A and B are shown apart, each in its own frame.
Chain A
Amino acid sequence: MSLEHPATTIERHPMALVEEPPLYRADLTLSQVTRDIVAPLDRRPNGWWWLAFLISVTLLGVGAITVVWQLRAGLGILGLTWPTMWGTYITNFVFWIGIGHAGTLISAILFLFRQRWRTAINRAAEAMTIFAVICAGLFPLLHIGRTLLAYWLIPYPNFRHLWVNFRSPLIWDVFAVSTYATISLLFWYQGMIPDLATVRDHKQGRIAKKIYGIFAMNWRGTARDWNHYESAYGMLAAIATPLVLSVHSNVSMDFAVATAPGWHSTIFPPYFVAGAIFSGFAMVVTLMAIVRKVYNLEDYVTLDHMELMCKIILVTSLMVSYAYATEMFSAWYSTDLYERNRFYGVHFGLTHTFFTGPYAYAAWIMLACNCFIPQLFWFRRLRRSLPMMFLISLGVNLGMWFERYTIVVSSQARQFLPSSFGYFRPTRFDYAVLAGSFGLFFTLFLLFVRFVPVIAVAEVKAVLRQPVGEPAVTLEERHA
């Protein structure tokens, strides 16, 4: 099959500086798109799906049992001891929230920048966002210890007339994360309504038609409907864009507003946001590398799309590397005794530097996986090799977990006085809950690919005949 796009159907946009390859194969027809993307929902899942589902549910079960155990026994079963009272739960929270960010970046920011290749991956990436935020949201609730009192985090009228402290970053976080979860869910669902209508009209079974009909919300697809729909979609994208930047900024302020050396740093908000996008894209690459293969969607999630994501990983890798360098530099240049001790460990006669001390393993994993290995993406061959990008993206996820681990844990272990130095050692319960969160994430993701079109059918159809770089006509141009 020819990959050439018939030259007659494309008019190059006058603003396009470079010749862009077509987004999708030229001979794809509308009904073919519907068939390819909706057909897997008709088939029974194959053995691979069941195997993956079984593993995920098992991990989820292990996590659930551990959580119940922890709720009964208390937080003491984790590695939490003075002075490191924030351990893997907070690490996992930051890690999962970060994973979610790529989904919103793809669905909202790339939408506003008219990056049309997003149509291939936005649905799955948004689903990933929601599941990651669910995983993330559980950890602070468990971490507060008395989980049944979690509603104290919400300002509600009570007989004691007490309110939450709105000057505290921890409360900012409650608002940021819950808003983020809500908006992501609405945005995802809105984007899905026309596709659910497609599935509804495609399904033959009476019950399936009814169920998809409920969720398709009587969608008809008239020009009037689309007119409001597109406008509302643009508006949600416009508010999701500053939202996603604010969420990880707020998360970073949980640390940056505290005075602990290694936390008290103004670079944290942009540094966290870049890291979040970095790890999130790695997760999208990991997931899509599998999904496109298993569901035969190579025509939709093309190698070109995967390569673009690898480029974003490369760019964000450089950003986080720069942030690490800035952190190290300003610790030295500030001449702040405690900051220097945190990174260089040269005071108080200690030799525990960041890269040779007790957390050296985490620091090196972080450096290797986040700074060095992604540089392989400078080579086009490696950017276009699925096994390579799969491995590198797994590495990035590992590296980003350890980055959060070094930030959360090692800073607390090196506070102001040698008498408050310590060492955090995760217990098997820490690991079990981490594994459980992966189980939850993949269980939800597998259910998603089973019941919902993984690719935004209507959006793919709308850009089927357009090259990658063509900017869309803006509302102003349309109504000029």
Chain B
Amino acid sequence: MKKISCLFFFLLFLTVIPSAEARVYLDINAPTFVQIPIVLPKWKGVNPTPPGLPVKIYEILANDLTLSGFFKVIGFNRLPDPLKDKVGIPTDVSLVEWESAGGEILLIGETAWKPGDQILRLKYHLFDLVERKHIVGKQYEGPPQALRKMVHRMADEVVLQLTGEKGVHNTKIAFASARGEGKEITLCDFDGAEMKQLTQNQSLNLFPAWSPDGKKIAFTSYLRRNPDLYLMDPDGQHFRRLTSFPGLNAAPAWSPDGKKMALMMGMEGKSDIYIIDANGNNPKKLTTGHGNEASPTWSPDGKQIAFVSDRSGSPQIYIMRADGSNVRRLTYEGGYNTKPSWSPKGERIAYCGRAEGRYDIFTIGADGTGLQRLTSNSGSNESPCWSPEGRYIAFSSTRAGGSKIFVMNASGFNQRPLTSAKGGESSPAWSRQLE
């Protein structure tokens, strides 16, 4: 892993033809949108590229575009004509011909690699089939081991060009995964690939939380017969205990500057919200009163914390200043609202609420307006968390039997399982863009 990251450091991507003017093809923040039909012909392998490689690239790319939720991928069997990167726009591509595929956008590309070579090249061109013009063309170079990352980066560029915002294709999702009697912290790419078990201790390992720089994961483990707080690198290395105060040390949430963590602690015989320094020292209690306090989440500016409290008689979402002052109630609909997650742009808070005896994902404005229900009639849906740009929400759902991680667009659209696991997955946490 380390080796790959190291090699990947040398990955270059060259803009062959920058787009003259950025045009947004899809306003992804609009409440409703129609997916862009994008024509994706077979990927071309320039000799002597082994034929399996272009097929693999095509699959990863088509999957990335589909999973983004913004595109309807139209497969096309014809191989593209040779791409011309000197001038940019390939002269031998007949855009009129591609229009017959029924799409608005055309994405064609090729790969050149000789087995044994240390450099793999990827090239793509994006065309607007409605206006019959070239949008952008780019070339990527990197070690063959970084293939998946290179394709993800390419997909991100396509999303950026067409929507005006960067994609999430080089992000990872950590979650707790049932193994025997215990649960282990597990990691996979945003598309469910590259699954990796990070802890191997057979204990109950719960509530992974990424540090804002993406370099650490904090979580709770019962290794010492107490729910203590631990820390490790995203490759499972440098595993160490951070806190071991009596009672709960659970559900950590890093402050946006990475200097502190809010968490649930039980030093006084019940769960309260505390803040500790990122090194585990200096616990400071924020909540007062007799309620059960749970699940802290920071506003992106680090000034406020949303959390759960049953002080009113039922669990509801509250917001307070990061020093514990100025507590106000956010949710009033329903008798069971838990696990808030503040969106990275700050306007909305996702949470798990009970409606008609089931648990579903809702979002609400940080000012308490604009309540939206994102899931319904599909098992129990819990533990929402946002993707770094706030476009997607990962959550756990029992719709297919056991609890599994699902991902959807922030509007509730395009709900899909993250992995092919049978179940036993909970508490997803989405990383920032990892370079």
Q: Are A and B genuine complex partners?
A: no
Listed in ascending order, the chain A residues whose CB lies under 8 Å from chain B are none
